[in-house]
Structure 1
Amino acid sequence: MTDLKTAEIAGARKKAVSAAGIGNFVEWFDFGIYAQFITIIGMKFFPSDNPTASLLSGFAAFAVGFLARPIGGVIFGNIGDRVGRRAALSGAVLLMSAATVAIGLTPSYATIGLLAPVLLVAWRILQGLSAGGEYAGSSSFIIEYAPSNRRALFGSVNPVSVALGTAAGASVGLIVTQAMDTASLESWGWRIPFLIAGPVGLVGLYLRLKIQETPEFEAVKEAAREAVHPPIVRAFQDGLKPMVVLFAWSMVTAVSFYLLGGYMVAYNTEELGLERSDALTSYIVALVVFAIACPIAGLAADRWGRRPVGIVAAVGLGVVAIPSFHIMGAGGLGSAMLGQSLYAIFAGSVALVTPVLMVELFKPEIRYTASALAYNMAFALLGGTAPLVATWLIARTGDPISPAYYVVLFAAVGLVAVLVGLKGYYAKDNIRSLQMGTEADRV
């Protein structure tokens, strides 16, 4: 009987990790496609005689999606903390896919005028609402199922799936770019990756509808549903301090990832003059390096603790940011790959710590809402705006290295967050118990 129950727990855990990871992959495949075609989107929806103005407008629309993320975090967090993680995550992946397909179907400015950028911004807002509910929910789902001594390793599934989903979107973009001439790509070919989001999203939805709720949420769901105050109120009552800590750490996560995931293709093509195919190739390589760094950092965090890994990640990112941009600036595909990959090692390590804190700092009955709000507030302010700020810094200073200084600034913020914010939170830097069943922990 015990062996049967153990097998059931192990089977449910594998399904949960697969469904959350693949669904997260789908979300960021969809969300990341926009960044790959930002220069074309800028021309199609925000035409201007000044290419930099069109690019800035495209990045501004990119940022608008992030402004909707805290709202999405509250909406989906309320569903996740009251109804269940599965319902919230299923709704999030469906909304993301529908909005991404809509971008691919929307006519350009030349066809419908001002309605084109209005619709684009509307779809970006829907994407932002979905993304706001995705990461916190999938983090909760995966780590609540994880053995107590492997939560960081299991949590690495989330940043890995984000990086691989973004890389997959870039790979599709690379294939489309190489298969088509420039005129066809700019006319209609750029729409193909957006339309692929439809069937891919249905796969993610199917997998999420087949999973069971986490044991931890099942243990508190009745009390959560009957609570007098909604999760957002209880989050501020019971979780304000950890929300501030998570917000501070998420600031460096947002800046470091979206300068890599949302800016590097445009940076290498527009600022460094790299061919688009080479820019996409180097970008994909860097995202794979990012994905490899995450589970390695997860193993280290499970062995030595969250604070030591967070400190090394923040310091390392601050140290390598400027050399990485200098290496990229040397010119050529090899330099682009080396510079971005060096940066990606520490950006991935930073990203690994985030989902672990999203789960371990909060009680299960407010976890989805509290972590989603704190995380998405940081990403709304600094994630979507990171490419915009980087473009503005270079235009203002004339220094192609200036985005690196921006990274260094927030790496320092992240260092303070783990040194001060987490001090004393983990007893002797051991993993804080989430009070999952001991039998589940033994699997």
Structure 2
Amino acid sequence: MQALTDAQQLRRTRRKAITAGGIGNFVEWFDFALYAQFATIIGFHFFPAEDPTASLLATFAVFAVGFLARPLGGLLFGQLGDRRGRKIALSLAVLLMSGATLAIGLTPSYATIGVAAPVLLLLWRILQGLSAGGEYAGSSSFVIEHAPVGRRALFASINPVATAVGTIGGALTGLIVTLSVTPEQLTDWAWRIPFILAGPLGIVGLYLRSKVEETPEFQAVAAEQAEMGHQHAPVVEAFRTNKKRMLILFGWAALNAVAFYLLTSYMVAYMTQRVGFSQADALLVYIIGLAAFSVTCPLAGLLADRIGPPKVALASAVLLAVVVLPAFTLMEAQVIGSAVLGLSVYAMVVGAIATLTPLFMVDLFPVRIRYTASAVSYNLSYAVFGGTAPYLATWMVSNTDDGKMPGYYVMVLCVLGVVVSLVGISRMYRGRELRDTEVAKSVALV
């Protein structure tokens, strides 16, 4: 058998890295999205109340609490990933997410075990949050550190695409189950089936990640640290030397978090409870919107590689502010075609924003602290803004009877995105604080 050339081996390594990073995100967000898709039914089983809105708010409150664990997960997995390697941290993250999601599917309801049911649900959500806190930052570093020169933004699109495809996979599974049983059976027991499927998916993710090598950038840093003969403290160094960049990422991630989690974790409940669609129709609109998101991500990556990330960041933040209210107006029209158009336009702009986030998570920080610094700042932002987005959206609509209220909230975050783009991101890329991605293999602090 003919030996592979160096170029062929490099391409093969990159394909394996993309597959491992992408599949891991698919598994993570297949699991993570199920909670949002069945939020109404979960509320019925775990938080019984006479008012359906009260049950849904309680369900989203537990969803938000899970996000509070994300910064801790980012810290724990970031330290592990910066010291021991991205591979081991990501393998543990995918196992933890799948196990916790399986546990949700197997946990008895309030009617069976009383208050222990919501307590256990909260525990599983916290474990999911710990896992998610380590997954995205680690897989972003893992995939982009394998990217060829001039293609870092394109490689950054792998993670949001895998996230959306995983969410679509969860939605399709939910749709198939919904169409295969009666509404009574779905509410009674069939909603648990997608959660139980999480167990085998976790094993698949673990297998794929066990077959890839560490990134060249991490191997180089690890060799340097070994030669120096001491372990560094990534979290201490991150806060001591990179506070400004962590703040920049925090601000951009806030826009990403609200826009993305309204798309993936609120829209199904919004379309069923507010707009009046059936569960099946809402899932269909949702899947089409996520498909539009997925198509946009690599296009945004190619554009960012061509004209620069700061320009794409500014344009996408402005464009989202322009389209978000018309998008909600179209969804409020109670027509499937109109809802598809509104959600798809919204999702496409969010796709551009989401593509830039993993790129900034990598570009803003040096390799030796990249996992920790990006995971902590990104997940702190998601804990504050992402986990609360479905709850706040539900509360605002319930108290104002205005279905467009979440759109106004997004517009406020778009202003923040514009400021971060102009004051932070543009300056970082324009100055000499970041090496030119066209001439450097690894973007790092100088």
TM-score by structure 2 length? 0.95
Q: For the Cα contact (< 8 Å) 1:95–1:126, is it kept in 2?
A: yes
AA aligned opposite 2:318: V
Q: For the Cα contact (< 8 Å) 1:294–1:348, is it kept in 2?
A: yes
Deviation at 1:4, TM superposition (A): 2.0
The answer for the alignment partner of 1:322 in structure 2 is 325
User: Which of 360, 374, 390 is the equivalent residue of 1:371?
Assistant: 374
CA distance in 1, matches of 2:97, 2:88: 15
The answer for the alignment partner of 1:440 in structure 2 is none
Q: For the Cα contact (< 8 Å) 2:150–2:437, is it kept in 1?
A: no
Taking a change above 3 Å as real, the CA distance of residues 277 and 9 of structure 1, as seen in their structure-2 partners, is: same
Instruction: Give the match's secondary structure for 1:61.
Output: helix
For 1:191-230, what aligned pairs fall within 5 Å after superposition? 191-224=192-225, 226-227=229-230, 229-230=232-233
Taking a change above 3 Å as real, the CA distance of residues 359 and 212 of structure 1, as seen in their structure-2 partners, is: same
AA aligned opposite 1:20: G
The answer for the alignment partner of 1:237 in structure 2 is 240
Q: For the Cα contact (< 8 Å) 1:81–1:224, is it kept in 2?
A: no
AA aligned opposite 1:65: G
The answer for the alignment partner of 1:310 in structure 2 is 313
CA distance in 1, matches of 2:141, 2:316: 22
Q: For the Cα contact (< 8 Å) 1:95–1:127, is it kept in 2?
A: yes
The answer for the alignment partner of 1:117 in structure 2 is 118
The answer for the alignment partner of 2:73 in structure 1 is 72
The alignment-based identity, stated in percent, is 55
Superposed CA offset, 1:3-31 (max 9, x none):
82222211111100111101111100000
AA aligned opposite 1:239: N
The answer for the alignment partner of 2:350 in structure 1 is 347
For 1:100-115, what aligned pairs fall within 5 Å after superposition? 100-115=101-116
Structure 2 stretches of 5 or more lacking a match?
none
Deviation at 1:432, TM superposition (A): 3.9
Superposed CA offset, 1:379-421 (max 9, x none):
1111111000001111121211111000000011111111101
Q: For the Cα contact (< 8 Å) 1:245–1:417, is it kept in 2?
A: yes
Asked whether 1:91 is paired with 2:96, we answer no
For 1:154-165, what aligned pairs fall within 5 Å after superposition? 154-165=155-166
Q: For the Cα contact (< 8 Å) 1:224–1:365, is it kept in 2?
A: no
Asked whether 1:334 is paired with 2:337, we answer yes
For 1:143-182, what aligned pairs fall within 5 Å after superposition? 143-182=144-183
Taking a change above 3 Å as real, the CA distance of residues 281 and 363 of structure 1, as seen in their structure-2 partners, is: same
AA aligned opposite 2:25: N
User: Which of 386, 389, 398 is the equivalent residue of 1:386?
Assistant: 389
The answer for the alignment partner of 1:416 in structure 2 is 419
The answer for the alignment partner of 1:7 in structure 2 is 8
Deviation at 1:423, TM superposition (A): 2.9
AA aligned opposite 2:157: S
Asked whether 1:436 is paired with 2:408, we answer no
The answer for the alignment partner of 1:35 in structure 2 is 36
CA distance in 1, matches of 2:107, 2:225: 41
Taking a change above 3 Å as real, the CA distance of residues 199 and 2 of structure 1, as seen in their structure-2 partners, is: closer
CA distance in 1, matches of 2:16, 2:27: 16
AA aligned opposite 2:34: I
The answer for the alignment partner of 2:257 in structure 1 is 254
The answer for the alignment partner of 1:301 in structure 2 is 304
Taking a change above 3 Å as real, the CA distance of residues 430 and 279 of structure 1, as seen in their structure-2 partners, is: farther
AA aligned opposite 1:85: R
AA aligned opposite 2:32: F
Q: For the Cα contact (< 8 Å) 1:359–1:367, is it kept in 2?
A: yes
Instruction: Give the match's secondary structure for 1:284.
Output: helix
Deviation at 1:427, TM superposition (A): 3.4
AA aligned opposite 1:97: S
Structure 1 stretches of 5 or more lacking a match?
438-443
CA distance in 2, matches of 1:18, 1:431: 27
Q: For the Cα contact (< 8 Å) 1:78–1:232, is it kept in 2?
A: yes
**What is the number of residues matched between the two proteins?**
438
User: Which of 275, 279, 285 is the equivalent residue of 1:282?
Assistant: 285
CA distance in 2, matches of 1:162, 1:174: 18
AA aligned opposite 1:297: A
The answer for the alignment partner of 2:362 in structure 1 is 359
- More displaced 10-residue stretch of structure 1: 420-429 or 350-359: 420-429
Superposed CA offset, 1:84-126 (max 9, x none):
0000000000100000000000000000000000000000000
Superposed CA offset, 1:202-229 (max 9, x none):
1111000110000000000144565555
Deviation at 1:422, TM superposition (A): 1.6
Deviation at 1:424, TM superposition (A): 2.5
Deviation at 1:430, TM superposition (A): 8.1
Q: For the Cα contact (< 8 Å) 2:47–2:55, is it kept in 1?
A: yes
AA aligned opposite 1:380: A
Q: For the Cα contact (< 8 Å) 1:360–1:434, is it kept in 2?
A: no
TM-score by structure 1 length? 0.96
CA distance in 1, matches of 2:33, 2:242: 31
Instruction: Give the match's secondary structure for 2:423.
Output: helix
The answer for the alignment partner of 1:53 in structure 2 is 54
CA distance in 2, matches of 1:291, 1:40: 28
Taking a change above 3 Å as real, the CA distance of residues 431 and 274 of structure 1, as seen in their structure-2 partners, is: farther
CA distance in 2, matches of 1:232, 1:108: 40
Taking a change above 3 Å as real, the CA distance of residues 259 and 109 of structure 1, as seen in their structure-2 partners, is: same
AA aligned opposite 1:267: Y
AA aligned opposite 1:276: Q
CA distance in 2, matches of 1:145, 1:384: 31
Deviation at 1:425, TM superposition (A): 1.4
Q: For the Cα contact (< 8 Å) 2:332–2:339, is it kept in 1?
A: yes
Instruction: Give the match's secondary structure for 1:8.
Output: helix
AA aligned opposite 1:181: T
Deviation at 1:201, TM superposition (A): 1.2
Q: For the Cα contact (< 8 Å) 1:38–1:59, is it kept in 2?
A: yes
Q: For the Cα contact (< 8 Å) 2:61–2:391, is it kept in 1?
A: yes
Taking a change above 3 Å as real, the CA distance of residues 431 and 31 of structure 1, as seen in their structure-2 partners, is: farther
CA distance in 1, matches of 2:243, 2:119: 36
